[in-house]
Chains A and B, each alone.
Chain A
Amino acid sequence: MIVRVIATTLLAGAMLAQPASAQSTRDYISVVGSSTVYPFATVVAENFGKTTNFKTPKIESTGSGGGLKLFCSGVGVQTPDITNSSRRIKASEVADCASNGVNEIVEVVIGYDGIVVANSKDAGAMSLTLKDLFLALAKNVPNPSGAKNLVPNPYSTWKDINPALPATRIEVLGPPPTSGTRDAFVELAMEGGCDAFGFIAAMKSADNNGYKTACHTVREDGAFVEAGENDNLIVQKLEANPKALGIFGFSFLDQNSDRIRGSAIDGVEPNFDSISDGSYPVSRPLYFYVKKAHVGAVPGIKEYLDEFTREDTWGEFGYLADRGLIPLPDGEREAARERILSLAPLELTKE
């Protein structure tokens, strides 16, 4: 009896496993990539699934780098059609793509994401400069005596850095190095502050690695707390600890505007307008990339692009703006839409 039971279960297992090898087509779009773009792409995907006869695309949150790696691994239904990215594709990745037969890639800039430095509404508003942020968070900072060398960060309160700031302890909650938000913060804010010091900025051409180490290394003495990838957690911690500042994406500030306040950076408050027109210094464009070879092979890609680039979607009053995406400037969207729908492939120009 037992033998029979085991035999039947094995047989059933084998039957269940059968369709796997038969997978030669796919009737849904497969999207991978950045966790920053994920909240926006998923909304579009859901609307796309609801309003068209196509299946809802599957969106994996793999991170920008992981997504591009999967994307560039080849052509065919086993590989994703689209990858989201919170940074631009690198030349090395384009080369990797090409070596795997992924030649024509369509680039889509969907809008901007601001990175905010925020604190609880219970505390006073902060107005910081990039230089303040660099001095507060870098591991090594220029010698306060004015000598042109780097010393371990001696500052413990904001007042030490800038007499205009309050005398509270420096305590900043931010994402870990694996996060794209951290990358962008380091590149945009810390590097921006770094360049305020002539002798470090001069290192850029002479000793690029030294420059990067000086500007990108975050202090590890407890003033900067790695609070995990979960931005909601940082928001909750800020509420509990009004003295701390937190670093996260603008959409979290937008959703929690009753509890937390974004600090002005270089005198500019983080809001839709300032991020959209580029005056807020810590903002980055968000992208996704489409494999042109899959358009037509996997049903719905063109229609998905159409849905994504509609004014109702990514426009100023579109539903993505409701979720905290900062739209492209008014004049640029229409041209971008045309370029995207004509599937003009990406050409990287050497910087």
Chain B
Amino acid sequence: MTDQNTSVGSTLTVQRVRSGLARRYRLERWFRRFGMMAVALGLSFVLVLFASIGSNGISAFHQGYVRLDITLDEKTLDPAGSRDPEVIGKASYRTLVRDTLFDQFPEVTSRSDKRELTGLLSNGADFMVRDQVMENPGLVGTTHSFWVPVDDEIDMLMKGYIDRNVPEADRRVSDRMIGWVDQLEKGGYLESRFNTLFFTNGDSRDAELAGVRGALAGSMLTLVVTLLLSFPIGVATAVYLEEMAPKNRITDFIEVNINNLAAVPSIVFGLLGLAVFINFFGMPRSAPLVGGLVLTLMTLPTIIIASRAALKAVPPSIRQAALAVGASPLQTITHHVLPLALPGMLTGTIIGMAQALGETAPLLMIGMIAFIVDVPQTVTDPSTVLPVQIFLWADAPERAFVEKTSAAIMVLLGFLALMNIVAVLLRKRFETRW
């Protein structure tokens, strides 16, 4: 009787399961599809972003150059023949450069036409010629071919960003200038070259001379300060809280506060930096030192939390074994626990650093949103950082800065990718599995 009952019951269950089976499979398939769609959507956003940045920015890595065969007459450059760099540096290269260009277009005679013609060249052309001559004084007295960058608007024309078909009045480049450019191009005087200036120059308001070196150096100095301060402090805090501190209300309170700090908007740290470091301690504005200090405050919670997680992951047996063979608590930590937790801590630190690299808001308050031409050398020199440079270029009216902006984003993304790769490699190299 009971047997029959169970068998009837089990067939009922089987039937119920069977009837619902198709539905359950369908649900699972849908769930899987939703997951895949979410991933695809995310990927497509990333792809669109990268494609638009890439297509906008790639042209910034090339720059139009014009060849000038300049006769470096000894009489004008170095009348005494001393080859003294001081004398050579003082000569008027502007006149030299312009006269060379005028010789190439003898039909251009009037003052205003000559003005227009010199508009083909970058404002930095004469300085570049001067630097080359000063580097190599042997050039004086010879005729040498110099390649100097063209003006940003001519560069835009060469890259096809300026439509030649719109009426002349509506263009920034006149018909005559286009004629000159075509003439130069035919004669082989015009060339598109890799834009080394983009990596060797600081900021400039002439788009063809603007580079990311200053911002890159600023970012690196800031990150060095951040790393040197936040890593030791973060690790020490994590070790103390995890390994040594007694469990009581005070440490609980500290823990809650650290977790809260991780969620504080970064601009608040900027305000704090302004009030404490600049106004109270009198540190200089716009300096990577202050930037680094502010970013240290911002990344500390991230590093502490990651470091504590890494310490927690070290099995207690390691500590017990060390203590059992007579190691002191400090020896246990420095000889055994810390080396094992270090890869995790490093990963956390690098992620914190990557976060700091992309930060602009707190730097706004401490004056790092600034136009700085000179590449910073020390942590107290005024400087800016990569994301700020992107922000400033995005706001520049000249059209050539559009591609510069995207190119700077590419440099920043490259930098970030590099840091993440280092994080992954470090983890792979030192990671221990139990």
Contact = CB atoms under 8 A, between A and B. Distances in A.
Interface stretch (A55-63, A151-159, A162-170): A55-63
B373 A49 contact: yes
A62 B285 CA distance: 13
- Classify the secondary structure of B's interface with A: loop
A294 B284 CA distance: 17
Interface in B375-405: 378-380, 382, 392, 394-399, 402
Given A3-B334, A42-B205, A23 B282 contact: yes
A231 B289 contact: no
Interface residues of B, number: 54
A121 B235 CA distance: 60
Given A9-B231, A20-B380, A46-B204, A56 B372 contact: yes
Contact of A28 (B171, B235, B278, B382): B382
A9 B367 contact: no
A78 interface: yes
A219 B339 CA distance: 63
A55 B172 contact: no
B96 interface: no
Contacts of A21: 281-283
A213 interface: no
The number of chain A residues touching the other chain, given as a range, is 35 or more
A231 B397 contact: yes
B170 interface: yes
A335 B379 CA distance: 43
B191 interface: no
Contacts of B373: 45-46, 49, 56
Nearest to A322: B119
Given A23-B380, A39-B205, A251-B397, A121 B170 contact: yes
A45 B395 contact: no
A26 B229 CA distance: 26
Q: Which of A20, A21, A55, A59 has the most CB of B within 10 A?
A: A20
A217 interface: no
Contacts of A3: 334
Nearest to B342: A2
Contacts of B370: 58-61
B327 interface: no
Given A45-B371, A58-B372, A252-B397, A20 B283 contact: yes
A12 B163 CA distance: 55
A13 B369 contact: no
Nearest to B126: A50
A229 B282 contact: no
A3 B330 CA distance: 10
A24 to B, nearest CB: 10
A2 B166 contact: no
Interface in B277-301: 278, 281-287, 289
Contact of B334 (A2, A32, A45, A257): A2
Given A6-B236, A9-B228, A46-B205, A61 B369 contact: yes
Contacts of A30: 285, 382
A35 interface: yes
Contacts of B124: 50
A60 B286 contact: yes
A324 interface: yes
Contact of A56 (B224, B235, B374): B374
A20 B287 contact: yes
A58 to B, nearest CB: 4
Interface in A5-59: 6, 9-10, 12-13, 16-17, 19-21, 23, 26, 28, 30, 32, 35, 38-39, 41-43, 45-47, 49-50, 55-56, 58-59
A197 interface: no
A27 to B, nearest CB: 10
B338 interface: yes
A332 interface: no
A208 interface: no
Contact of A10 (B206, B224, B232, B372): B232
A257 B373 CA distance: 29
A12 B228 contact: yes
B146 interface: no
Contact of B162 (A16, A41, A60, A258): A258
A55 B374 contact: yes
A255 interface: yes
Per CB-CB distance, the 9 closest pairs between chain A and chain B, nearest first, are A13-B228, A56-B373, A59-B371, A60-B370, A42-B371, A58-B382, A43-B205, A255-B397, A258-B170
8 contacts: A9-B228, A10-B228, A30-B382, A32-B367, A62-B367, A230-B395, A256-B399, A257-B170
